[in-house]
Chain A
Amino acid sequence: MPRVRRNTPRPPARSAPDRRFVRGEAARATATDPSAARAASPQDVGYEAINGAYRVIDEYLRQGQKVAGELWLPGTDGRPGIADVPRVVERFMQSAGDLGAAWLDLFAAGVTPASGKPDATGTAGPFRVGRRADSPTSGSPAAAPVASAVPLVVSTARPVDVSVDASGPVESWSLGAVAGARGSAATGVSARLAPGPDGRAVLTVKVAATAKRGTFTATITRPDAEGPAGVVTIRVR
Protein backbone atom coordinates (compact mmCIF):
# COMPACT_ATOMS: atom_id res chain seq x y z
CA MET A 1 0.00 0.00 0.00
CA PRO A 2 1.38 3.36 -0.92
CA ARG A 3 2.24 5.53 2.00
CA VAL A 4 0.21 8.67 2.31
CA ARG A 5 2.18 11.77 3.11
CA ARG A 6 0.50 13.71 5.86
CA ASN A 7 0.34 17.46 5.55
CA THR A 8 1.56 18.63 8.90
CA PRO A 9 0.61 22.26 9.49
CA ARG A 10 3.58 24.50 9.98
CA PRO A 11 3.72 26.21 13.33
CA PRO A 12 3.05 29.94 13.20
CA ALA A 13 6.16 31.91 12.53
CA ARG A 14 5.35 34.42 15.26
CA SER A 15 3.63 34.37 18.59
CA ALA A 16 2.66 38.02 18.84
CA PRO A 17 0.49 40.24 16.67
CA ASP A 18 2.30 41.50 13.61
CA ARG A 19 1.87 45.22 13.64
CA ARG A 20 4.33 46.19 10.96
CA PHE A 21 1.66 48.09 9.13
CA VAL A 22 3.49 51.31 8.49
CA ARG A 23 1.96 52.28 5.20
CA GLY A 24 0.75 55.15 3.09
CA GLU A 25 2.66 58.41 3.39
CA ALA A 26 4.37 57.30 6.56
CA ALA A 27 5.62 54.16 4.83
CA ARG A 28 6.95 56.20 1.94
CA ALA A 29 8.60 58.59 4.36
CA THR A 30 10.21 55.64 6.13
CA ALA A 31 11.29 54.08 2.85
CA THR A 32 13.08 57.27 1.81
CA ASP A 33 14.98 57.43 5.06
CA PRO A 34 18.20 55.38 4.70
CA SER A 35 18.46 55.01 8.45
CA ALA A 36 15.13 53.15 8.40
CA ALA A 37 16.33 50.54 5.94
CA ARG A 38 15.94 47.72 8.47
CA ALA A 39 12.19 48.33 8.74
CA ALA A 40 11.31 44.78 7.70
CA SER A 41 13.12 43.16 10.61
CA PRO A 42 11.08 42.20 13.66
CA GLN A 43 13.86 43.66 15.74
CA ASP A 44 13.46 46.99 14.05
CA VAL A 45 12.93 50.12 16.06
CA GLY A 46 9.67 50.84 14.27
CA TYR A 47 8.35 47.39 15.06
CA GLU A 48 9.26 47.80 18.70
CA ALA A 49 7.80 51.31 18.75
CA ILE A 50 4.44 50.12 17.50
CA ASN A 51 4.28 47.14 19.81
CA GLY A 52 5.29 49.29 22.74
CA ALA A 53 2.67 51.88 21.88
CA TYR A 54 -0.07 49.25 21.61
CA ARG A 55 1.09 47.76 24.90
CA VAL A 56 0.77 51.15 26.60
CA ILE A 57 -2.61 52.08 25.17
CA ASP A 58 -4.09 48.62 25.72
CA GLU A 59 -2.96 48.71 29.33
CA TYR A 60 -4.46 52.19 29.73
CA LEU A 61 -7.79 51.11 28.25
CA ARG A 62 -7.87 47.96 30.38
CA GLN A 63 -7.40 50.07 33.48
CA GLY A 64 -10.27 52.29 32.36
CA GLN A 65 -12.51 49.26 31.89
CA LYS A 66 -11.51 47.98 35.32
CA VAL A 67 -12.56 51.27 36.90
CA ALA A 68 -15.85 51.20 34.98
CA GLY A 69 -16.40 47.58 36.04
CA GLU A 70 -16.05 48.58 39.68
CA LEU A 71 -19.05 50.91 39.42
CA TRP A 72 -21.55 48.35 40.64
CA LEU A 73 -24.05 47.95 43.42
CA PRO A 74 -23.22 45.22 45.93
CA GLY A 75 -24.84 41.92 45.01
CA THR A 76 -25.21 38.68 46.92
CA ASP A 77 -21.64 37.70 46.25
CA GLY A 78 -20.33 41.23 46.27
CA ARG A 79 -20.41 41.50 42.50
CA PRO A 80 -23.20 42.12 40.05
CA GLY A 81 -24.10 39.71 37.29
CA ILE A 82 -22.39 40.51 34.02
CA ALA A 83 -25.67 41.69 32.53
CA ASP A 84 -26.13 44.15 35.39
CA VAL A 85 -22.94 46.11 34.86
CA PRO A 86 -23.99 48.08 31.80
CA ARG A 87 -27.33 48.91 33.39
CA VAL A 88 -25.71 50.08 36.62
CA VAL A 89 -23.15 52.14 34.75
CA GLU A 90 -25.93 53.60 32.60
CA ARG A 91 -27.92 54.53 35.70
CA PHE A 92 -24.83 56.03 37.28
CA MET A 93 -24.13 58.09 34.17
CA GLN A 94 -27.78 59.12 33.99
CA SER A 95 -27.71 60.37 37.57
CA ALA A 96 -24.44 62.19 37.04
CA GLY A 97 -25.84 63.74 33.88
CA ASP A 98 -29.02 64.85 35.62
CA LEU A 99 -27.05 66.40 38.45
CA GLY A 100 -24.76 68.21 36.07
CA ALA A 101 -27.66 69.38 33.94
CA ALA A 102 -29.36 70.77 37.02
CA TRP A 103 -26.24 72.74 37.91
CA LEU A 104 -25.95 74.10 34.40
CA ASP A 105 -29.61 75.11 34.51
CA LEU A 106 -28.98 76.95 37.74
CA PHE A 107 -25.94 78.72 36.32
CA ALA A 108 -27.82 79.64 33.17
CA ALA A 109 -30.68 81.04 35.24
CA GLY A 110 -28.23 83.43 36.85
CA VAL A 111 -28.59 81.83 40.26
CA THR A 112 -26.45 83.41 42.93
CA PRO A 113 -26.01 82.70 46.60
CA ALA A 114 -28.95 83.93 48.60
CA SER A 115 -27.14 86.43 50.75
CA GLY A 116 -28.71 89.78 49.88
CA LYS A 117 -31.89 88.06 48.77
CA PRO A 118 -34.01 88.00 51.90
CA ASP A 119 -36.89 86.18 50.24
CA ALA A 120 -34.79 83.26 49.07
CA THR A 121 -35.60 80.16 51.05
CA GLY A 122 -35.22 77.20 48.67
CA THR A 123 -31.98 75.25 48.40
CA ALA A 124 -29.95 73.79 45.58
CA GLY A 125 -26.56 72.32 46.40
CA PRO A 126 -24.66 74.77 48.59
CA PHE A 127 -26.77 77.70 47.42
CA ARG A 128 -30.01 78.98 48.83
CA VAL A 129 -32.10 79.98 45.85
CA GLY A 130 -35.55 81.04 44.76
CA ARG A 131 -38.59 81.42 46.92
CA ARG A 132 -40.20 78.73 49.00
CA ALA A 133 -42.76 76.91 46.93
CA ASP A 134 -45.94 75.24 47.99
CA SER A 135 -45.47 72.39 50.45
CA PRO A 136 -44.46 69.30 48.51
CA THR A 137 -47.31 66.87 48.07
CA SER A 138 -45.62 63.50 47.85
CA GLY A 139 -42.70 61.56 46.39
CA SER A 140 -39.33 63.29 46.29
CA PRO A 141 -40.09 66.96 45.96
CA ALA A 142 -37.49 69.47 44.89
CA ALA A 143 -37.96 73.20 44.65
CA ALA A 144 -35.94 75.06 42.07
CA PRO A 145 -36.25 78.38 40.34
CA VAL A 146 -36.88 78.65 36.62
CA ALA A 147 -35.99 81.40 34.21
CA SER A 148 -39.55 82.74 34.40
CA ALA A 149 -40.94 84.30 37.55
CA VAL A 150 -43.13 81.37 38.58
CA PRO A 151 -41.94 79.18 41.47
CA LEU A 152 -41.84 75.53 40.48
CA VAL A 153 -42.39 72.41 42.56
CA VAL A 154 -41.55 69.11 40.92
CA SER A 155 -42.62 65.86 42.54
CA THR A 156 -41.37 63.01 40.44
CA ALA A 157 -40.39 59.37 40.52
CA ARG A 158 -38.69 59.61 37.13
CA PRO A 159 -35.87 61.77 35.68
CA VAL A 160 -37.54 64.78 34.10
CA ASP A 161 -36.73 68.12 32.51
CA VAL A 162 -39.29 70.86 33.07
CA SER A 163 -39.24 74.18 31.29
CA VAL A 164 -41.65 77.11 31.27
CA ASP A 165 -41.68 79.48 28.34
CA ALA A 166 -44.36 82.14 28.71
CA SER A 167 -44.87 85.88 28.84
CA GLY A 168 -46.95 88.23 30.94
CA PRO A 169 -47.64 88.34 34.67
CA VAL A 170 -47.99 84.92 36.29
CA GLU A 171 -51.19 85.96 38.04
CA SER A 172 -52.94 86.19 34.69
CA TRP A 173 -51.91 82.72 33.48
CA SER A 174 -54.31 79.83 33.03
CA LEU A 175 -52.89 76.35 32.54
CA GLY A 176 -54.47 73.81 30.19
CA ALA A 177 -54.40 70.04 30.55
CA VAL A 178 -51.15 68.17 30.06
CA ALA A 179 -51.01 66.18 26.83
CA GLY A 180 -48.52 63.94 25.09
CA ALA A 181 -47.44 64.01 21.48
CA ARG A 182 -50.31 64.67 19.06
CA GLY A 183 -52.72 65.14 21.95
CA SER A 184 -52.22 61.66 23.41
CA ALA A 185 -53.02 60.99 27.07
CA ALA A 186 -50.47 62.02 29.66
CA THR A 187 -50.94 59.16 32.08
CA GLY A 188 -49.08 59.79 35.30
CA VAL A 189 -48.05 63.33 34.36
CA SER A 190 -49.85 66.39 35.70
CA ALA A 191 -49.28 70.12 36.08
CA ARG A 192 -51.22 72.56 38.23
CA LEU A 193 -51.02 76.32 38.64
CA ALA A 194 -52.44 77.45 41.97
CA PRO A 195 -51.81 80.07 44.68
CA GLY A 196 -49.24 79.12 47.30
CA PRO A 197 -49.38 79.99 51.02
CA ASP A 198 -48.33 83.57 50.31
CA GLY A 199 -50.96 83.96 47.61
CA ARG A 200 -48.45 83.90 44.76
CA ALA A 201 -48.98 81.44 41.93
CA VAL A 202 -46.96 78.21 42.12
CA LEU A 203 -46.57 75.72 39.30
CA THR A 204 -46.65 72.12 40.58
CA VAL A 205 -45.57 69.26 38.30
CA LYS A 206 -46.07 65.64 39.30
CA VAL A 207 -44.69 62.62 37.45
CA ALA A 208 -45.58 59.13 38.64
CA ALA A 209 -43.37 56.08 38.30
CA THR A 210 -45.85 54.70 35.76
CA ALA A 211 -45.42 57.67 33.41
CA LYS A 212 -44.13 56.81 29.96
CA ARG A 213 -41.01 58.34 28.45
CA GLY A 214 -41.70 61.26 26.19
CA THR A 215 -42.41 64.95 25.98
CA PHE A 216 -45.62 66.36 27.43
CA THR A 217 -46.90 69.91 27.20
CA ALA A 218 -49.52 72.11 28.82
CA THR A 219 -50.56 75.35 27.16
CA ILE A 220 -50.58 78.61 29.10
CA THR A 221 -53.20 81.17 28.13
CA ARG A 222 -53.86 84.75 29.21
CA PRO A 223 -57.20 86.56 28.95
CA ASP A 224 -55.53 89.55 27.34
CA ALA A 225 -53.63 87.54 24.74
CA GLU A 226 -54.83 86.15 21.47
CA GLY A 227 -53.86 82.49 21.28
CA PRO A 228 -51.45 80.69 23.64
CA ALA A 229 -49.27 82.84 25.87
CA GLY A 230 -46.77 80.11 26.54
CA VAL A 231 -46.15 76.46 27.27
CA VAL A 232 -44.96 74.18 30.06
CA THR A 233 -42.81 71.38 28.68
CA ILE A 234 -42.20 68.22 30.70
CA ARG A 235 -39.72 65.74 29.28
CA VAL A 236 -39.79 62.34 31.00
CA ARG A 237 -36.60 60.34 30.45
Chain B
Amino acid sequence: MEAVFRATWVIAYRDLLRFVGDRPRLIGSFAMPLLFLIIFGAGFNRVIGALAPGVDFVQFMYPGIVAMTVLMSSLMSGLSMVWDREFGFLREVMVAPLSRTGIVLGKVAGNGVIAIGQGLIMLALAPIIGVKIDFILVLKLIPLLLIVSICLSGLGILMASRMRSQQGFQMLMQIIIMPLIFLSGVFFPINNVPVWLEVLSKFNPLTYGVDAIRQVFLSGNLSSTNGLPGDGGYAFGVTIFGHTMGIIEDAVVMAVLGVILLSLAIWSFSKQE
Protein backbone atom coordinates (compact mmCIF):
# COMPACT_ATOMS: atom_id res chain seq x y z
CA MET B 1 0.00 0.00 0.00
CA GLU B 2 2.84 2.34 0.87
CA ALA B 3 4.34 1.66 -2.56
CA VAL B 4 1.04 2.53 -4.28
CA PHE B 5 0.75 5.77 -2.36
CA ARG B 6 4.38 6.78 -2.88
CA ALA B 7 4.11 6.03 -6.61
CA THR B 8 0.90 8.02 -6.91
CA TRP B 9 2.26 11.10 -5.31
CA VAL B 10 5.71 11.08 -6.88
CA ILE B 11 4.28 10.64 -10.41
CA ALA B 12 1.63 13.32 -9.82
CA TYR B 13 4.27 15.63 -8.37
CA ARG B 14 6.46 15.29 -11.39
CA ASP B 15 3.59 15.76 -13.88
CA LEU B 16 2.52 18.94 -12.10
CA LEU B 17 6.08 20.20 -11.88
CA ARG B 18 6.47 19.61 -15.54
CA PHE B 19 3.14 21.19 -16.46
CA VAL B 20 4.18 24.44 -14.81
CA GLY B 21 7.04 24.81 -17.26
CA ASP B 22 5.08 23.68 -20.30
CA ARG B 23 3.28 26.66 -21.79
CA PRO B 24 2.30 25.11 -25.15
CA ARG B 25 0.33 22.44 -23.35
CA LEU B 26 -1.47 25.02 -21.25
CA ILE B 27 -2.53 26.88 -24.36
CA GLY B 28 -3.16 23.71 -26.36
CA SER B 29 -5.86 22.40 -24.05
CA PHE B 30 -7.79 25.65 -24.30
CA ALA B 31 -7.45 26.22 -28.02
CA MET B 32 -10.05 23.81 -29.38
CA PRO B 33 -12.80 24.43 -26.80
CA LEU B 34 -12.38 28.18 -27.17
CA LEU B 35 -12.43 27.92 -30.93
CA PHE B 36 -15.69 25.99 -30.86
CA LEU B 37 -17.23 28.37 -28.36
CA ILE B 38 -16.34 31.45 -30.33
CA ILE B 39 -16.98 30.23 -33.88
CA PHE B 40 -20.06 28.13 -33.23
CA GLY B 41 -21.35 30.74 -30.83
CA ALA B 42 -20.96 33.56 -33.32
CA GLY B 43 -22.23 31.43 -36.19
CA PHE B 44 -25.28 29.80 -34.67
CA ASN B 45 -26.42 31.95 -31.79
CA ARG B 46 -28.76 34.19 -33.77
CA VAL B 47 -29.95 31.51 -36.14
CA ILE B 48 -30.89 29.13 -33.38
CA GLY B 49 -32.12 31.58 -30.79
CA ALA B 50 -33.25 30.50 -27.33
CA LEU B 51 -33.27 26.76 -26.70
CA ALA B 52 -35.32 27.17 -23.56
CA PRO B 53 -36.67 30.16 -21.75
CA GLY B 54 -33.64 32.22 -20.80
CA VAL B 55 -31.09 29.90 -22.39
CA ASP B 56 -29.59 30.90 -25.72
CA PHE B 57 -27.28 28.69 -27.79
CA VAL B 58 -24.02 29.99 -26.32
CA GLN B 59 -25.33 29.54 -22.81
CA PHE B 60 -26.42 26.01 -23.73
CA MET B 61 -23.09 25.17 -25.26
CA TYR B 62 -20.89 26.76 -22.61
CA PRO B 63 -21.12 24.02 -19.90
CA GLY B 64 -20.25 21.50 -22.61
CA ILE B 65 -17.21 23.55 -23.52
CA VAL B 66 -16.06 23.41 -19.90
CA ALA B 67 -16.41 19.61 -20.04
CA MET B 68 -14.54 19.59 -23.32
CA THR B 69 -11.64 21.49 -21.79
CA VAL B 70 -11.42 18.82 -19.10
CA LEU B 71 -11.56 16.13 -21.77
CA MET B 72 -8.70 17.62 -23.77
CA SER B 73 -6.60 18.05 -20.69
CA SER B 74 -7.32 14.57 -19.37
CA LEU B 75 -6.46 12.75 -22.57
CA MET B 76 -3.06 14.44 -22.26
CA SER B 77 -2.26 12.01 -19.46
CA GLY B 78 -1.94 9.39 -22.16
CA LEU B 79 0.18 11.63 -24.32
CA SER B 80 2.55 12.33 -21.43
CA MET B 81 2.94 8.59 -20.89
CA VAL B 82 3.79 7.98 -24.54
CA TRP B 83 6.18 10.92 -24.38
CA ASP B 84 7.92 9.40 -21.37
CA ARG B 85 8.25 6.09 -23.12
CA GLU B 86 9.62 7.65 -26.27
CA PHE B 87 12.16 9.82 -24.47
CA GLY B 88 13.25 7.18 -22.02
CA PHE B 89 12.01 8.61 -18.74
CA LEU B 90 9.51 5.78 -18.37
CA ARG B 91 12.43 3.38 -17.87
CA GLU B 92 13.57 5.40 -14.88
CA VAL B 93 10.03 5.05 -13.54
CA MET B 94 9.76 1.34 -14.33
CA VAL B 95 12.97 0.30 -12.55
CA ALA B 96 12.13 2.32 -9.46
CA PRO B 97 10.54 0.35 -6.62
CA LEU B 98 7.11 1.80 -7.41
CA SER B 99 3.81 0.01 -7.78
CA ARG B 100 2.53 0.00 -11.34
CA THR B 101 -0.98 0.67 -10.12
CA GLY B 102 0.38 3.67 -8.26
CA ILE B 103 2.11 4.93 -11.39
CA VAL B 104 -1.20 4.95 -13.30
CA LEU B 105 -3.05 6.51 -10.37
CA GLY B 106 -0.35 9.17 -10.17
CA LYS B 107 -0.84 10.09 -13.81
CA VAL B 108 -4.59 10.31 -13.22
CA ALA B 109 -4.18 12.37 -10.06
CA GLY B 110 -1.69 14.80 -11.59
CA ASN B 111 -3.82 15.27 -14.66
CA GLY B 112 -6.97 15.49 -12.59
CA VAL B 113 -5.60 18.50 -10.78
CA ILE B 114 -4.52 20.11 -14.04
CA ALA B 115 -7.85 19.35 -15.74
CA ILE B 116 -9.93 20.76 -12.89
CA GLY B 117 -7.73 23.82 -12.85
CA GLN B 118 -8.22 24.34 -16.57
CA GLY B 119 -11.95 23.69 -16.33
CA LEU B 120 -12.23 26.32 -13.63
CA ILE B 121 -10.21 28.82 -15.64
CA MET B 122 -12.92 28.52 -18.31
CA LEU B 123 -15.34 29.89 -15.69
CA ALA B 124 -13.77 33.28 -16.24
CA LEU B 125 -15.80 33.44 -19.45
CA ALA B 126 -19.12 33.03 -17.66
CA PRO B 127 -19.84 36.73 -17.12
CA ILE B 128 -19.15 37.52 -20.79
CA ILE B 129 -21.57 34.85 -21.92
CA GLY B 130 -24.18 35.83 -19.37
CA VAL B 131 -24.14 32.73 -17.23
CA LYS B 132 -24.45 33.33 -13.50
CA ILE B 133 -21.92 31.55 -11.32
CA ASP B 134 -21.49 31.56 -7.58
CA PHE B 135 -19.41 29.79 -4.99
CA ILE B 136 -21.90 26.94 -4.50
CA LEU B 137 -21.92 26.24 -8.21
CA VAL B 138 -18.14 26.01 -8.26
CA LEU B 139 -18.22 23.62 -5.29
CA LYS B 140 -20.74 21.41 -7.08
CA LEU B 141 -18.73 21.57 -10.26
CA ILE B 142 -15.39 20.39 -8.86
CA PRO B 143 -16.37 16.78 -8.08
CA LEU B 144 -18.06 16.48 -11.47
CA LEU B 145 -15.00 17.77 -13.31
CA LEU B 146 -12.91 15.34 -11.27
CA ILE B 147 -15.07 12.37 -12.28
CA VAL B 148 -14.98 13.37 -15.95
CA SER B 149 -11.23 13.77 -15.70
CA ILE B 150 -10.68 10.36 -14.07
CA CYS B 151 -12.84 8.68 -16.67
CA LEU B 152 -11.01 10.25 -19.61
CA SER B 153 -7.54 9.96 -18.07
CA GLY B 154 -8.31 6.27 -17.74
CA LEU B 155 -9.19 6.18 -21.42
CA GLY B 156 -6.05 8.14 -22.33
CA ILE B 157 -3.75 5.86 -20.36
CA LEU B 158 -5.48 2.75 -21.67
CA MET B 159 -4.77 3.98 -25.20
CA ALA B 160 -1.21 4.90 -24.25
CA SER B 161 -0.29 1.87 -22.21
CA ARG B 162 1.26 0.03 -25.14
CA MET B 163 1.72 2.85 -27.63
CA ARG B 164 5.32 3.55 -28.54
CA SER B 165 5.24 6.69 -30.63
CA GLN B 166 3.65 10.05 -30.12
CA GLN B 167 2.55 10.19 -33.75
CA GLY B 168 0.61 6.98 -33.31
CA PHE B 169 -1.03 8.28 -30.19
CA GLN B 170 -1.94 11.60 -31.79
CA MET B 171 -3.57 9.73 -34.66
CA LEU B 172 -5.60 7.63 -32.27
CA MET B 173 -6.58 10.78 -30.34
CA GLN B 174 -7.82 12.43 -33.53
CA ILE B 175 -9.94 9.41 -34.32
CA ILE B 176 -11.43 9.33 -30.84
CA ILE B 177 -11.77 12.98 -29.84
CA MET B 178 -14.10 14.22 -32.55
CA PRO B 179 -16.81 11.55 -32.16
CA LEU B 180 -16.51 11.82 -28.38
CA ILE B 181 -17.17 15.53 -28.54
CA PHE B 182 -19.80 15.65 -31.29
CA LEU B 183 -21.77 12.78 -29.80
CA SER B 184 -21.81 14.12 -26.27
CA GLY B 185 -24.53 16.73 -26.49
CA VAL B 186 -22.15 19.66 -26.23
CA PHE B 187 -23.61 21.32 -29.32
CA PHE B 188 -27.22 20.15 -29.40
CA PRO B 189 -29.66 18.44 -27.05
CA ILE B 190 -29.65 14.74 -27.84
CA ASN B 191 -33.36 14.30 -27.17
CA ASN B 192 -34.47 15.66 -30.53
CA VAL B 193 -32.18 13.79 -32.88
CA PRO B 194 -32.55 10.71 -35.11
CA VAL B 195 -32.54 7.46 -33.20
CA TRP B 196 -29.10 6.29 -34.43
CA LEU B 197 -27.53 9.50 -33.21
CA GLU B 198 -29.35 9.27 -29.92
CA VAL B 199 -28.19 5.69 -29.35
CA LEU B 200 -24.58 6.50 -30.18
CA SER B 201 -24.67 9.50 -27.86
CA LYS B 202 -26.04 7.47 -25.00
CA PHE B 203 -23.13 5.05 -25.28
CA ASN B 204 -20.69 7.93 -25.02
CA PRO B 205 -19.42 8.38 -21.46
CA LEU B 206 -18.86 12.07 -22.00
CA THR B 207 -22.60 12.59 -22.59
CA TYR B 208 -23.32 12.06 -18.91
CA GLY B 209 -20.50 14.35 -17.84
CA VAL B 210 -21.75 17.11 -20.13
CA ASP B 211 -25.32 16.59 -18.92
CA ALA B 212 -24.38 16.77 -15.24
CA ILE B 213 -22.22 19.84 -15.70
CA ARG B 214 -24.94 21.54 -17.75
CA GLN B 215 -27.54 20.82 -15.10
CA VAL B 216 -25.32 22.38 -12.45
CA PHE B 217 -24.91 25.51 -14.54
CA LEU B 218 -28.44 25.87 -15.79
CA SER B 219 -30.25 25.05 -12.56
CA GLY B 220 -29.00 28.42 -11.40
CA ASN B 221 -29.83 30.14 -14.67
CA LEU B 222 -33.17 28.91 -15.97
CA SER B 223 -35.83 31.50 -15.53
CA SER B 224 -38.43 28.96 -14.56
CA THR B 225 -37.88 27.06 -11.31
CA ASN B 226 -39.60 24.15 -13.01
CA GLY B 227 -36.46 23.76 -15.04
CA LEU B 228 -34.81 21.67 -12.35
CA PRO B 229 -33.83 18.20 -13.46
CA GLY B 230 -36.26 15.42 -12.78
CA ASP B 231 -39.20 17.79 -12.72
CA GLY B 232 -39.94 17.18 -16.35
CA GLY B 233 -39.41 20.82 -17.12
CA TYR B 234 -35.69 20.55 -17.79
CA ALA B 235 -35.61 20.44 -21.52
CA PHE B 236 -32.21 18.92 -22.18
CA GLY B 237 -31.88 16.05 -19.70
CA VAL B 238 -30.65 12.74 -20.99
CA THR B 239 -33.38 10.14 -20.76
CA ILE B 240 -32.71 6.45 -20.45
CA PHE B 241 -35.80 4.25 -20.89
CA GLY B 242 -38.04 7.19 -20.17
CA HIS B 243 -36.16 8.22 -17.05
CA THR B 244 -34.49 11.61 -17.03
CA MET B 245 -31.04 11.46 -15.50
CA GLY B 246 -30.28 13.70 -12.52
CA ILE B 247 -26.86 15.06 -11.61
CA ILE B 248 -26.13 12.26 -9.15
CA GLU B 249 -27.21 9.58 -11.60
CA ASP B 250 -25.05 11.07 -14.33
CA ALA B 251 -22.16 11.18 -11.91
CA VAL B 252 -22.66 7.53 -10.96
CA VAL B 253 -22.66 6.45 -14.63
CA MET B 254 -19.44 8.38 -15.21
CA ALA B 255 -17.86 7.04 -12.04
CA VAL B 256 -18.65 3.42 -12.94
CA LEU B 257 -17.23 3.94 -16.41
CA GLY B 258 -14.24 5.65 -14.87
CA VAL B 259 -13.54 2.69 -12.60
CA ILE B 260 -13.81 0.30 -15.53
CA LEU B 261 -11.53 2.35 -17.81
CA LEU B 262 -9.03 2.92 -15.02
CA SER B 263 -8.93 -0.77 -14.11
CA LEU B 264 -8.33 -1.67 -17.74
CA ALA B 265 -5.60 0.97 -17.95
CA ILE B 266 -3.89 -0.36 -14.82
CA TRP B 267 -4.17 -3.91 -16.05
CA SER B 268 -2.78 -3.07 -19.47
CA PHE B 269 0.04 -0.93 -18.10
CA SER B 270 1.05 -3.46 -15.44
CA LYS B 271 1.22 -6.35 -17.84
CA GLN B 272 3.75 -4.78 -20.14
CA GLU B 273 7.42 -5.59 -19.76
Chains A and B bind each other: no
| B contact set with A: CB distance below 8 Å | none
| A contact set with B: CB distance below 8 Å | none
